């Protein structure tokens, strides 16, 4: 049911009358007969959405219970139900934060109308709270992005400024080779800034509420081959062997996926594998097939991932950024993008790593996005093993 309520009332007939109205409105109801019992239930953490509280109770009166609720800051909306009709009692109850004061004897039509109005108000309040939490989350996300942006752009921009000052102060205009070296450094640094900017923009899009996957039929073998060929020259220059392994009987393997996002998942993982694998090492992209899912494994013989880095591996924390084995720089946002794109595909990502021996990322995706049941492996999203 949408809402729950306690009725604290020692008059069983009055309690049952109110219970009937509440159940008509799909409210789950529990009847308590004393103020002490109410406090005990609240102290145990059993807090309903609504509390209908009589003033005249056999032990503690309703106002004493109200004072306790106010003192303990219990998050519950209280409605007084009482035959007490003096101004001071009503005023004191409202000062203690009640939502409504219903006078006995309760009349069916009036009580039902007031309860329906109160429930509508609670629905609006809940929606407001959800929107507020979303706005706060977006605000925190913006602060986080600005922090990453400031941290990652400061160093390369300072480098460009320094080189520009050297060029401005260079006396020998005939030293073409020196100018070329400066220009090459500027180009490399600008490429780094562009890479940071692209990753940040991608991350902002993927973590926004409007980010959607555009599913289509994608031939997975061709996509994996394209990714491997994209990085073959980079791997060759670094002296790293790269290989695609897939079932021999398969010439094609079609799945439902967002092609650009799936390609970026694979590209980011392959790029990382090459980056953290030293010369003479190997990177393998392995395709495995289950009844309703596919598994893409990107395995390397690289330096591995330190144990303390595992819990923050898929976060925006700057603490898990590292240089590659030959000083390759990184924005550190690639795995965050991978995590979000895998989620968009209703998939799982698993990491296995041994320091000094290598790392394997496994991306498990359903073959069909709208299947009624998918026999996926049981591992949890973003599970890490070491």
Structure tokens at 16: 């049952």
Work out the number of other CB atoms within 10 angstroms of the CB of residue 83.
12
Q: Where are the domains of the chain?
A: 3-106, 141-206, 216-385
pTM recorded for the entire structure? 0.52
Q: How far apart are CA 284 and CA 9, in angstroms?
A: 70
- DSSP of 320-384: G----TT-----S-HHHHHHHHHHHTT-EEEEEEETTTEEEEEEEEES-TT-S-----SPPTTEE
pLDDT of residue 298: 95
Determine the pLDDT at residue 146: 62
Residue position matching structure tokens 């490429």 = 191
> DSSP for 145-200?
HHHHHHHHHHHHHHHHHHHHHHHHH---TT-HHHHHHHHHHHHHHHHHHHHHHHHH
From the candidate CATH numbers 3.30.565.10, 3.40.50.2300, 3.90.600.10, 3.40.50.2000, the one assigned to the domain spanning 216-385: 3.30.565.10
pLDDT score of 384: 41
Q: How far is the C-alpha of 342 from the C-alpha of 301, rounded, in Å?
A: 24
Among 93, 114, 103, smallest CA distance to 14 is for 103
Extract the tokens encoding 367.
């073959």
State the CB neighbour count (10 A cutoff) for residue 228: 19
141-206 is classed CATH 1.10.287: yes
Topology at the third CATH level for domain 3-106: Rossmann fold (3.40.50)
Same fold, 141-206 and 216-385: no
Tell me what pLDDT residue 153 has. 63
CB atoms within 10 A of CB 156: 20
- CB contact at 8 A, 102 and 74: no
Closest CA to 111 of 201, 18, 200: 18
pLDDT digits (tens, 9 = 90+) for 198-210: 666 666 665 555 5
CB atoms within 10 A of CB 73: 7
Residues of the chain scoring pLDDT < 50: 378-386
């Amino acid at each position: 049911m949408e809402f729950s309520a306690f009725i604290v009332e020692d008059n069983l007939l009055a309690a049952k009358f109110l219970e009937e109205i509440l159940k008509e409105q799909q409210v789950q109801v529990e009847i308590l007969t004393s103020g002490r019992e109410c406090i005990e239930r609240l102290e145990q953490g059993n807090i309903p959405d609504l509390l209908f509280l009589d003033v005249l109770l056999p032990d503690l009166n309703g106002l004493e219970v109200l004072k306790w609720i106010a003192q303990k800051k219990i998050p519950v909306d209280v409605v007084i139900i009482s035959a007490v009709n003096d101004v001071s009692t009503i005023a004191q109850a409202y000062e203690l934060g009640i939502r409504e004061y219903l006078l006995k004897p309760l009349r069916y039509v009036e009580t039902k109308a007031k309860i329906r109005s109160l429930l509508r108000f609670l629905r609006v309040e809940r929606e407001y709270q959800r929107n507020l939490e979303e706005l706060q989350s977006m605000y925190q996300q913006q602060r986080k992005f600005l922090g990453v942006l400031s941290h990652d752009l400061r160093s390369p921009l300072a480098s460009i400024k320094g080189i520009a000052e050297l060029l401005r102060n260079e006396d020998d205009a005939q030293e073409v080779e020196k100018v070329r070296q400066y220009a090459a450094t500027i180009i490399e640094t600008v490429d780094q800034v562009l890479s940071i900017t692209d990753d940040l923009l991608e991350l902002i899009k993927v973590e926004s509420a409007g980010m959607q996957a555009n599913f289509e039929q994608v031939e997975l073998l061709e996509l994996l081959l394209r990714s491997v060929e994209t990085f073959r020259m980079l791997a060759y220059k670094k002296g790293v062997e790269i290989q695609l392994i897939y079932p021999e009987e398969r010439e094609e393997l079609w799945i439902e996926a967002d092609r650009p996002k799936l390609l970026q998942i694979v590209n980011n993982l392959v790029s990382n594998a090459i980056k953290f694998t030293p010369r003479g090492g190997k990177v393998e992209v392995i395709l495995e097939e289950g009844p309703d899912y596919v598994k893409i494994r990107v395995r390397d013989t690289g330096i591995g991932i330190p144990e303390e880095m595992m819990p923050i591996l898929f976060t925006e924390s700057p603490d898990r950024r590292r240089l590659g084995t030959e000083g390759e720089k990184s924005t550190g946002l690639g795995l965050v993008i991978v995590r979000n794109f895998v989620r968009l595909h209703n998939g799982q990502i698993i990491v296995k790593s041994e320091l000094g021996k290598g790392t394997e990322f496994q991306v498990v995706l359903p073959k069909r996005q709208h299947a009624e049941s998918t026999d996926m492996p049981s591992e949890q999203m973003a599970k890490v093993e070491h």
